């Protein structure tokens, strides 16, 4: 909500992707007819209005059946101090002009908005719990995780090893410059013996109204650049990354790596090298596993897949990596052979069909190439 009229505008409304973390696996609230759970957030400081509406409730007519206590389930997520009255909420909205982003400005960028016909400015900040008002703001911000990240949990904000990166949109209202929350990322700094840290991305969320505009890539690249300048950082990883996050990371890391000398077309065609691992880690804080993926994407760009020899060389190179898990299975099979009776061995052998392995390998290869092409298409448009 930026203007009072947004309260009545359905175009500013977005629905949760997940509600099982609040309402159970069936995502059902029992005992209501026409139930609406309404959560409004002021765009900048995220002050909250919470209301429940329904046309009828089961225990108003029946004695022995009770409706679910929806209100208490929501209260477990949203911090105290929220409004339940629209007038109170609108009066808070008038004070929004005083809201300013928390922490240190890291990056400013613009995105062209077709609808508005103009460039809109966005800024990325790094904040921590010492920033006045940030603790309370973060409590409101993290409520979005429950609705948009499938395995979300709230973090221990008293642990000083957390870093917070925030994206804001700058907009004008009655001649004043205001800020709207776009998304954020939390990063935990793990200790690596003897004197390094390994920042691990824990949570990352761009709010639905801003998705598909490139903010995730801007945020991830800014965070990488922030840590790249630190001599104590070993490399940057992510905790249980989603498929979408992996695609985003591929794009950002390839964009960062493509100008390194070790990724020149000539060197790419010679195969994956230790030089790539060292340069990517030292200059860009990228680990070996992610560097290998970057190499495969950039080598695809440098390969003429219409040329039979180049195409075969690329396919073999990728499949040599993909075959690792199958070779592990074969080593396990060799152990099994020494331990099992003949009839038990037959059962195990049936489970490891070689033709199926080849099919799965080819399927994995084709899927990777498809994913890699999408990264390269995006890179060409960037």
Contacts of 228 (CB under 8 A, 6+ apart): 283, 284, 285
CA distance 205 to 163: 15
pLDDT at 151: 82
pLDDT at 330: 62
pLDDT at 325: 66
Name the 3-class secondary structure at 244: helix
pLDDT at 358: 80
CATH number for the domain formed by residue range(s) 100-301: 3.40.630.30
Domain 4-96 has CATH 3.90.360.10: yes
pLDDT at 359: 86
CA distance 98 to 176: 10
Consecutive 10-residue averages of pLDDT for the chain (382 residues): 93 92 90 94 97 86 78 94 96 95 98 88 97 97 94 92 97 94 97 95 96 97 96 94 95 97 96 97 96 98 96 95 72 66 58 69 94 97 88
pLDDT at 353: 61
pLDDT at 61: 60
pLDDT at 278: 97
Q: Is there a shared CATH topology between the 4-96 domain and the 100-301 domain?
A: no
pLDDT at 323: 87
257-263 long-range contacts (CB < 8 A, ≥24 apart) are 257/284, 257/286, 257/291, 257/294, 257/298, 258/298, 258/379, 260/284, 263/294, 263/295, 263/298
Q: Where are the domains of the chain?
A: 4-96, 100-301, 320-381
Catalytic residue numbers? 239
Contacts of 344 (CB under 8 A, 6+ apart): none
Contact 378, 251 (CB under 8 A): yes
pLDDT at 154: 94
Q: Identify the bridge partners of residue 190 per DSSP, sorted by sequence position.
A: 198
Sign of CA dihedral 363, 364, 369, 371: positive
């Amino acid at each position: 909500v930026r203007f009072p009229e947004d309260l009545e505008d359905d175009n500013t409304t977005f629905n949760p992707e997940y509600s099982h973390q609040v309402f159970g696996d069936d995502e059902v609230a029992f005992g209501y007819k026409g139930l609406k759970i309404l959560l409004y957030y002021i765009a900048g400081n995220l002050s909250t209005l919470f209301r429940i509406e329904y046309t009828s409730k089961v225990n108003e007519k029946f004695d022995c059946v009770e409706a679910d206590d929806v209100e208490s389930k929501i209260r477990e997520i949203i911090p105290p101090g929220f409004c339940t009255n629209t007038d109170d909420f609108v009066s808070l909205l008038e004070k929004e002009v005083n809201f300013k982003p928390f922490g240190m400005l890291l990056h400013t960028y613009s995105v062209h908005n077709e609808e508005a016909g103009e460039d809109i400015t966005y800024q990325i900040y790094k904040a921590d719990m010492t920033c006045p008002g940030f603790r309370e703001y973060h409590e409101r911000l993290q409520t979005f995780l429950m609705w948009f990240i499938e395995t979300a949990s709230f973090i221990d904000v008293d642990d000083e090893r957390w870093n917070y990166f925030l994206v804001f949109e700058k907009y004008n209202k009655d001649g004043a410059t205001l800020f709207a929350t776009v998304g954020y990322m939390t990063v935990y700094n793990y200790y690596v013996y003897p004197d390094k840290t390994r920042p691990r991305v824990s949570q990352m969320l761009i709010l639905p109204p801003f998705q598909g505009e490139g903010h995730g890539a801007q945020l991830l690249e800014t965070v990488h650049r922030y840590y790249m300048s630190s001599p104590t950082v070993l490399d940057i990883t992510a905790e249980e990354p989603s498929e979408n996050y992996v695609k985003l990371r591929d794009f950002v890391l390839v964009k960062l790596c493509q100008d390194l000398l070790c990724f020149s077309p000539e060197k790419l065609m010679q195969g994956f090298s230790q030089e790539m691992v060292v340069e990517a880690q030292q200059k860009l804080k990228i680990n070996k596993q992610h560097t290998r993926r970057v190499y495969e994407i950039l080598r695809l760009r440098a390969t003429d897949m219409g040329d039979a020899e180049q195409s075969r060389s690329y396919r073999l190179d990728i499949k040599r990596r993909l075959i690792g898990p199958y070779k592990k299975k074969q080593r396990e099979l060799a152990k099994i052979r020494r331990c099992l009776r003949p009839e038990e061995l037959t059962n195990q052998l049936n489970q490891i069909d070689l033709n199926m392995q080849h099919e799965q390998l080819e399927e994995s290869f084709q899927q990777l190439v498809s994913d890699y092409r999408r990264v390269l298409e995006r890179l060409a448009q960037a």
